[in-house]
Amino acid sequence: MTNSVNLTLSEAYQLAYRALHSNGFSTKHADAVAKNVTAGERDGCHSHGLYRVLGCVRSLHAGKVMADAEPTFTDSAPAILRVDAQGAFSLVAYQAALPAFITKVRHCGIAALAINHCVHFSALWAEIEPLTEQGLVALACTPSHAWVTPAGGSQPLFGTNPIAFGWPRQGQAPFVFDMATSAAARGEIELHRLANKPLPEGWGIDSHGKPSTDAASVLQGAMLTFGGHKGSALAAMVELIAGPLIGDMTSKESLAYDQSTGSSPYGGELIIAMDPERFLGAEKEEHFARAEGLFNDMAEQGSRIPGERRFKARQHSEQFGVTLPLTLYKEIVAMCQ
């Protein structure tokens, strides 16, 4: 008996959509979330793929996410747009804000979008790619729950606090990286726990502050930042600029709000985009050619350009579909009423 199930991308989307919609999410929110998790699965980002449907439904049943909220907007300044997700997942709010945000970026050359009062579970590259498709350079970050200890600490304080960056490239996939400031994404540790696999050393500590490779004990203890104090400093930066700066929660506050329900993080997200046309004018092509020289130099040394593996996985999935563990597939099917 096989331990996995192969699905086309359409079948994966329909499975996620049915589970979300039948549990109470509106058509708009179920569609946005289903598309997002299907994209994660398609790109080989299993920690942000259909596995996330379980947490989305759990958050709804716990009363920690709104199923049908409509976002509202505040035009704060010529180069600042704020969108209030009204307690829903960030995806619909981002999609609604995107046209006005891009207009601000084109007008000012650089602009910031703050998404407030949102529940966030998704990979940040999904917010970056629509901007690189418009020829824009972009940066995004968000806190999460307090799962990560600062360098030298022993108690959770920071979130996994991902940072994503995108650079458009002519005629080929953009340069996009999306990384947690923790040593690994929380979802990766969850997947190791589900598969009963040991963690690599340096990913986390147990509840007594001792290094551990047991996923369950790390989930009860704390995750570690990547690069020691360097990752810790970046995590603190994300807490500040995507928390207090935009009037939203820190990871510690998000976890307290969760009240031990195991729901997705609640708070804010900051996205900054820049228009190369406004920065460089007629010199844009010249300087973007220099950027291509940098990428070529990376490739000549055998360095993998961030995002390449994800785009290769995308091409494969579009042709052959995606493969889910049978246990996960059955869990999602069971949610479909």
* Helix axis angle, 9-22 to 52-61, nearest 10°: 10
Phi-psi sector, 10: left (phi>0), alpha (psi -120 to 50), beta: alpha
| CA neighbor of 265 nearest in space, from 64, 23, 66, 128 | 64
Tokens describing residue 148? 């990560």
Q: Where are the beta strands (DSSP E) in the chain?
A: 4-7, 72-77, 80-84, 110-119, 137-141, 163-167, 175-179, 204-205, 222-223, 266-274, 322-325
Catalytic residues: 47-48, 188
pTM for the structure as a whole: 0.93
- How far apart are the C-alpha atoms of 241 and 142, rounded to whole Å? 9
- How far apart are the C-alpha atoms of 46 and 54, rounded to whole Å? 13
pLDDT tens, residue order, the chain (337 aa): 589 999 999 999 999 999 999 999 999 999 999 999 999 999 999 989 999 999 999 999 999 999 999 999 999 999 999 999 999 999 999 999 999 999 999 999 999 999 999 999 999 999 999 999 999 999 999 999 999 999 999 999 999 999 999 999 999 999 999 999 999 988 889 889 988 999 999 999 999 999 999 999 999 999 999 999 999 999 999 999 999 999 999 999 999 999 999 899 999 999 999 999 999 999 999 999 999 999 999 999 999 898 899 999 999 999 999 999 999 999 999 999 7
Q: Could you say which DSSP state residue 242 is in?
A: T
Tokens describing residue 69? 């909220």
| CA neighbor of 272 nearest in space, from 48, 79, 143, 30 | 79
Strands 163-167 and 137-141: antiparallel
Host H or E run for residue 129: helix 125-132
The answer to whether residues 68 and 60 touch, using CB atoms and an 8 Å cutoff, is no
| CA neighbor of 129 nearest in space, from 310, 329, 261, 276 | 310
CB half-sphere exposure, 293, CA atoms < 13 A:
6
